[in-house]
Structure 1
Amino acid sequence: MAVERFHIHVSDDILNDLQDRLHHIRWPDQVEDSGWERGTDLSDLKSLVSYWRDHYYWRAQESRLNRFSQFRSKIDGIDVHFVHERGKGSNPMPLILTHGWPDSYLRYEKIIPLLTDPASHGGHPDDSFDVIVPSLPGFGFSGRPNHPGFNNSRVSQMWAKLMTQELGYTAFAAAGGDIGSGVTRYLAANNPELLLGIHLTDVGIIRSLLTAQNEAELSEEERQYKKNASEWISQEGGYMSIQSTKPQTLAYGLSDSPVGLAAWILEKLRAWSDCKGDLNQTYSKDELLTHIMIYWVTNTIGSSTRMYYENSHSLPPLGRIEVPTGMAIFPADIVLPPKSWAERNLNVTRWTTMPSGGHFTAMEEPELLADDIRAFYRPLRRK
């Protein structure tokens, strides 16, 4: 189908069903004084669910989200939902932003106006972008693939078609984090002639360093990374093992229980953000719940976790990327990549160490990220 306008409208039946479920919860117990040590804290979750049931108003959030120009188009048989906001400068650069898990296209909600209209936010109009933010296949308002193979590389090929065939750009920029980092790197590897540059906030878990047999060949920074990443996987990586091996089993519980879904997502938002253990320090209750609602109202938590399985079972190897690359490193991100590894595998032309922020960079520190994206792409713009 051609590109069509899209407007979010969740049916009353879905919202009424959610209310019914939130009024009939069977809570588990919790080890006394364990807090978040063994998973999502019971008292914190009860407090948020009480707000969700009695004070959260989806229709207000829905109206707020619909202020963006949204579209859908069928690519490789999958409906792809995306935001497309035009820049306000004289020569905006097209920029596709790719989110990860367990967030959604809303990861970039706060930086869209900073990039499309920098002059209104302390920047220069010559740094403006046309911003395109798609929902990954199986996430949010995009379609749910029901056959295998939708990994980072496959999605990157869909994004190339979206930007060129559907939207008519001949060259463009790309940025991403989490799964979005992988998609962006495969986009540069598979279609280097289309990319003006790529901007990343992480590179995921570097498996080649974890499995390196001869540590003498690694830099000191890389040896430290191997140690840190191994410890993180053993303590925090259980979700990744499940979603990479048996996502279907997990999907039954998370698709049926809004409280179970909230617990699964909140634990990651807290652990991976620079919030000092207090979600309310970084996110409002409405912000947290709207992210959870995107998964609930579209019933896509199961299809989103399948991306982990596909990336573990069908992803082709990725060689060195020659497209100019900017790296923005946020100190509270999951496991910080070694610069030596990044420079061997990417054409790093800008490396920025940020003063604060965690894994959900655009949600936590939108101004810092927007400033770095503008600065990185400034010398790469075509006049």
Structure 2
Amino acid sequence: MTETIEPFTVQVPPALLDDLRDRLRRTRWPDAEPVADWSQGVPLAYLRDLCTYWAESYDWPARQRLLNRFPQYRTTIDGLGVHFLHVPSPHPDAMPLVLTHGWPGSVVEFLDVIEPLTDPVAHGGDARDAFSVVVPSLPGYGWSDRPTRTGWGVDAIAAAWVELMSRLGYDRFGAQGGDWGSTVTRALADAFPDRLTGIHLNMVTVRPDRDGDLTDAEQRALDRLAEHREQGTGYSTQQATRPQTLGYGLTDSPAGQLGWILEKFATWADCGGDPVGVLGADRLLDNAMLYWVPGTAASSARLYWESFRREAWPPTAVPMGAAIFPHEIFTPSRRWAEKAFTDIRRWSELPSGGHFAAFEQPQVFVEEVRAFFRTVR
């Protein structure tokens, strides 16, 4: 097994961009929804407007330069090429930190937090809060390879992250994640507790405790979870059972790929149903490009097939911190979480923000990560 780490630069061929614009211009659109909201999915006019911008105005070369300002690499782990950003801190005592994204996200979620985390002094902070940051693309996502065999669930990914950090010279490190990144981070704590200084999550998935009286916040969390299970889980059922079938349409149609993931930004972000207005068309399309360009509709969905039937973990004693954003899919109470995490050092319930914490609230995200890891430095 080679342990070579090779520099990587994102360079999308012009011909692929021409093909993207051509496909967008030739999209065969369905009829409009007979409702005045998002209850049947992404409204036709909303998606058409964003696709028109994608085809006619979106400047990928400029966006590509923003991504390429950070050092990127690839290395092969267990036969699979892993793409990652690695930004060492200029401060000598910085803590290594791996940030893991989920679906339908990508490494672009973290672009606004890397510099404040690695060089806090340059952003009004304290050198004692510095991190050397590693941001991998999940297997089957972005410019990581697409697995050609089964077995790449969250446990295998956690083992790969440990190997990656070892190759970079980091014996102990912190881990942070949301969505699948939260699950991978939990897998790290379960299998490799001695390698971790601590874990920080912005999505905390634990079993609700319905015994005794519920607080108002706990009842609201259960109500939102019930609504999600009734109205919002069709995507995960499809991806967990028949990801290959889904992949044909999404890989062939950029409008289809964008619509599939845009719905989740509209529903899970704290954006009042207007992800373009709150997050910006360019940032949303940056993320979509990391699915469209490498053609990862099916391979990214397979993570659900690989991991949804995994058994629950036992409680972890690794120091843990949580940032609970109010528009998250599930907002557990600390009381519920204490059964799964026996050493909670920081528990923050924030006033705004949703599922894509670093993307939506980068300043708050940075402050929360700094504050938690101060307790374990």
Regarding TM over 0.5, the answer is yes
- Please say if 1:259 is aligned against 2:261: no
SS of the equivalent of 1:298 reads: coil
The answer to whether the Cα contact below 8 Å between 1:202 and 1:337 also exists between their aligned partners in 2 is no
CA contact (8 A) 1:361 1:369 kept: yes
* Offset from partner CA, 1:7-62 (integer Å, 9 cap, x none): 11112232121122112111101234433221001111111111111111211111
SS at match of 1:344: coil
Give 1:334's aligned residue. Answer: 329
2:102 maps to 1:106: no
Against the structure 1 CA distance between its residues 104 and 189, is the aligned structure 2 distance closer, same or farther, given a 3 Å change threshold? Answer: same
Aligned-residue sequence identity (percent) comes to: 43
Mapping 1:111-190, distance limit 5 Å: 111-164=113-166, 166-190=167-191
Q: Secondary structure at the match of 1:251?
A: helix
**AA partner of residue 234 (structure 2):** G
Counterpart residue number, 1:92? 94
Who is 1:12 aligned against? 14
Q: What is residue 235 of structure 1 aligned with on the other side?
A: 231
CA offsets per residue over residues 164-217 of structure 1, 9 Å max, x none?
Answer: 1x111111111000000000011011001000000000124x4x54xx8xx547
CA deviations over 1:96-132 (Å, ceiling 9, x no partner): 0000000101111110011001111121111110000
Displacement of 1:231 after TM fit?
2.3
1:137/1:218 Cα in 2 relative to 1: closer, same or farther (>3 Å)? Answer: farther
Aligned match of 2:45: 43
Cα deviation 1:132-181 (Å, max 9, x = unaligned):
000000000000112112111111011011111x1111111110000000
1:290 alignment partner in structure 2: 286
Q: Which moved more, 1:144-153 or 1:67-76?
A: 144-153
List alignment gaps of at least 5 residues for structure 2. none
Amino acid at match of 2:239: Q
Shift of 1:284: 1.5
1:222 Cα deviation (Å)? 5.8
SS in 2 for 1:180: helix
Tell me the CA shift for residue 343 of structure 1: 0.8
CA distance in 1, matches of 2:23, 2:187: 41
Matches of 2:34 and 2:219, distance apart in 1: 38
Q: 1:319 to 1:255 in 2, by over 3 A?
A: same
Distance 2:161 2:13 in 1: 29
Give me the whole-angstrom Cα distance separating, in 2, the residues matched to 1:219 and 1:190.
33
Give the equivalent residue in structure 2 for 1:308: 304
- Give how far 1:283 is off: 1.3
Of residues 342, 346, 354, the one that matches 1:358 is 354
The answer to whether structure 1 residue 375 and structure 2 residue 376 are counterparts is no
CA drift at 1:218 = 8.4
The worse-fitting range, judged by mean Cα deviation, of 360-369 and 19-28 is: 19-28
Amino acid at match of 1:241: T
**Matched-pair contact (CA < 8 Å) for 2:109–2:358:** yes
Structural RMSD (CA): 1.6
Kept in 2: contact 1:96–1:133 (CA 8 A): yes
Match of 1:272 in 2: 268
SS at structure 1 position matched to 2:318:
strand
Cα distance in 2, alignment partners of residues 363 and 34 from structure 1: 28
Aligned amino acid, residue 109 of structure 2: R
1:345 correspondence with 2:345: no
Give distance in 2, aligned partners of 1:49 and 1:168. Answer: 43
Q: How far off is 1:269 after superposition?
A: 0.6
Q: Quick one: which amino acid aligns to residue 238 of structure 2?
A: I
Instruction: Work out the CA distance in 2 between the residues paired with 1:376 and 1:17.
Output: 45
1:248 alignment partner, one of 244, 250, 257? 244
Contact 1:90 1:125 in 2 (8 A): no
